[in-house]
Structures are given as C-alpha cells and as structure tokens.
Amino acid sequence: MCEANAYLLKNGEMKLIMESVDTVLPEGKGIQLTNIFGEQKFFKAIIYSLSLVDHKIFLKEKEQD
Amino acid sequence: MCEANAYLLKNGEMKLIMESVDTVLPEGKGIQLTNIFGEQKFFKAIIYSLSLVDHKIFLKEKEQD
C-alpha cells in the first residue's frame, strides 16, 4: 500500500495530523483527507509539498482571509 | 516503492507529465517535481489533489498573475 502520513505546518511547527492517508481533495475553503480506513478530516490548508518515498505529505495552514 | 504519477490539469484536460515522482517541492512561482531517477521538472502549478493508493498526483496550472 502506498498511503502516507500527513503533517500540518503551522506557526513554524510540524504536527502529524493523520496516518495512512489515501486521498486529499479540495473541499470548500480547505482540503478533505481520507485515510485507507475511510476516516475523514477537514483542514483549512493547502497541500504544500510531498515526499512520497518517505510516505510524507506536508500541508500548510491557509492564511486568514 | 511508493512513488506516483503526476498529472497536470489544464483547460479541462488531464495530461501525464511525470512518472515515478518522489518529491514535489514549492519553488519560486511553481513547483519542482523530482522522480526516483533524480530527473527534475518545473511547472507553474499547485498540488491540487492526491490519490495515493492509485499512485496519482494531480497538479493544476496556476492562473496568470
């Protein structure tokens, strides 16, 4: 399986927010993450960068608008 | 290995732009893709969505600014 762990970059810190992520889809003002177990989480963030061989997805919190 | 294929969404069409992508990093006004062979490509685009179990990354061309 090729799922990855998702980390959120916020105020200079990096926090693990979801493991075994399958899909990341744009949803309203943010993104919806779904893992291989069907669990979903929403974040007001963008997909910032990827490191797939390391199984890592980095999200970055959106600035206030 | 958990690399993925990258597709660019442009004018309603989807085009395969790179296979076996490892990292996607922000770079200037776009993103730099690197595959597992060390080849690099730059696109003026954002990371739009992910479907990792399907090994797919979708990029979207940035609007002109």
Question: Which ipTM did the prediction report?
Answer: 0.93
* A33 exposure class (CB count in 10 Å sphere: 0-12, 13-18, 19+): buried
CA–CA min distance B4, chain A (Å): 8
Amino acid in position B36: I
The single-letter DSSP state of residue B52 is T
In this complex, the residue of A26, A47, A52 whose CB is nearest that of residue B3 is A52
C-beta atoms of A53 and B3 within 8 A:
yes
pLDDT in tens, A20-61: 999 999 999 999 999 999 999 999 999 999 999 999 999 999
C-beta atoms of A50 and B50 within 8 A:
yes
- The model's pTM is 0.93
B33 neighbourhood in chain A, CB within 8 Å: none
